[in-house]
Amino acid sequence: MTDKPSIARPMLRGFLSDHNSEEEVVSITIEPETVYFEEARDSLNLNFDFLIQGLTEKKLVIRFIKVAAYDAEGNLFTFRHLNHNGVGTPSIHTIGKFKIEGQELLDVFNPFYSFPKEFPIDHLRYMFTFYEPETKKEYYYGNIIVKPVFYKQKVRLTLPMKGLLTVLDGHDFYSHHRRFAMSIVRNVTNGSFSSNFSRYAVDFTLLGPDGNTRTLDSGDGETNYDFHFDDVSKFHTHGAMVYAPADGVIVEVANQLEDLYESPFSMDSAIERNQVEEIAGNYIVIKHNNKEFSHLFHLMKGSVEVDIGDQIERGQPMARIGFSGAATTYSHLHYQLMDGKDFLRDIPLPCKFSDVTLVLGTTQELNEELVIDTGDFVIGKI
């Protein structure tokens, strides 16, 4: 029997320093305050943002962003980093804007958004290095601690549509739901939004018998861009029935807004009229328990079959999918789970669906529970 060799405990002190500069040139906060681990099929995903506020008139550049991951005993077991080292487009460019002009507020979407599921992450320490080109001075923020938690979902959700579905846009790092720069959103909507309501949202789209999202005209198959269309009714999703994903009580309904077939949704108009909630179009909110509410958006005008106060059962038909609100480019059902009924003010929650058949090429895999995201093909069976 051979003893395991003695090895040094990984530290990387010279690279992963927890040093903070004495002079504070920015403040760094995390949004939302509670960071959840989302348990995807093979990874732990972290969906949160940094808000960086300049505190001086200095012109700064983010030179480094690093993260160190630790277990419950404080042992370092992995790290990641972005910097300006590269040719053409260094990794720091992936965060988008990395320059701060004076007392500017900058949104940075957490670039280290995924880790292997087997990693025993207890907490993460983020490190930022800011560089002032004029003086060539660096400022260090080396001890920004994030301690994610696992959300314990109570409600058992089933898919709210029948048939073969795909998620054209979910909440992965590149999705439009994820890319809500809240400093900009709050500013242009006069503070109407408290948080990114769509942080864990998915857009369900129905596939037809031919496996496509819509009926194709001659030449449509060569356009390579399914968001160009002249008639939204060609989408198989348009007019499809929406079913209750779980038992509950109807607490919010909108059924009177027009389906915007001729002209796109105008956020400017909604802001002017103090009606920014119209971004959802016609919608239904179901209260499942005191802390879990299903929100379903972009329903067809006049199609909603339920009223506030109705007790509903899983699988009950509720409405049809239309083109109301900011459906923007294609017919779909927007779904999200939140901790309240007011999507402008309440907190989005990660969620899993039960009894989901995942379609992988020619195979079908039944899952007792599944996190669904961009690019998934699933079968909804109520």
Give pLDDT, residue 303: 98
The Cα 46–Cα 112 span in angstroms is 8
3-class DSSP state for residue 220?
helix
The pLDDT-based confidence of 239 (bands split at 50, 70, 90) is very high
pLDDT at site 226: 58
278-328 pLDDT, tens per residue?
Answer: 999 999 999 999 999 999 999 999 999 999 999 999 999 999 999 999 987
Check: CB of residue 257 under 8 Å from CB of residue 304. no
Question: Residue 317: is the preceding peptide bond cis (ω within 30°)?
Answer: no
311: Cβ contacts below 8 Å, ≥ 6 apart: 247, 248, 249
* Average pLDDT, rounded, for the chain: 94
What's the pLDDT score for residue 222? Answer: 72
Q: Which residue has the higher pLDDT, 284 or 215?
A: 284
Q: Over range 159-164, report the average pLDDT.
A: 97
All structural domains of the chain: 26-150 (2.60.40.10), 163-380 (2.70.70.10)
Q: What is the pLDDT of residue 2?
A: 63
Global confidence as pTM:
0.94
pLDDT of residue 330: 85
- The per-residue pLDDT for 30 is 97
DSSP string covering 31-81, please? ESSSPEEEE-SSEEEE--EEEEEE-SS-EEEEEEEEEEEE-TT--EEEEEE
Q: Let me know: does 155 contact 288? Beta carbons within 8 Å.
A: yes
What pLDDT shows up at residue 321? 98
Q: Express as a percent the part of the chain with pLDDT over 90.
A: 83
pLDDT computed for residue 218 by the predictor? 73
Q: Which residues pair with 49 in a beta bridge?
A: 31, 109
The average pLDDT across 67-72 equals: 97
Averaged pLDDT, 158-170:
96
**Could you report the per-residue pLDDT of 2-53, keeping only the tens digit for each?**
677 788 889 999 899 999 999 999 999 999 999 999 999 999 999 999 999 9
Which of 39-53, 136-150, 182-196 has the weakest average pLDDT? 182-196
Phi, psi dihedral angles at 270 (to 5 degrees): -65, -40
- What per-residue confidence (pLDDT) applies to 230? 72
Q: Model confidence over 246-264: pLDDT tens digits?
A: 999 999 999 999 999 888 8
pLDDT at 229 over 70: no
Average pLDDT for 211-220: 81
Is the pLDDT reported for residue 225 higher than 80?
Answer: no
pLDDT at 26: 98
> How much is the average pLDDT of 153-164?
97
Residue 130 has pLDDT above 80, yes or no: yes
Query: Quick one: what percent of the chain has pLDDT higher than 70?
Result: 97
- CA–CA gap between residue 252 and residue 283 (Å, rounded): 8
In contact, 371 and 350? CB cutoff 8 Å: yes
Q: Give 381's pLDDT tier (boundaries 50, 70, 90).
A: confident
Range scoring the smallest mean pLDDT among 84-93, 222-231, 363-372: 222-231
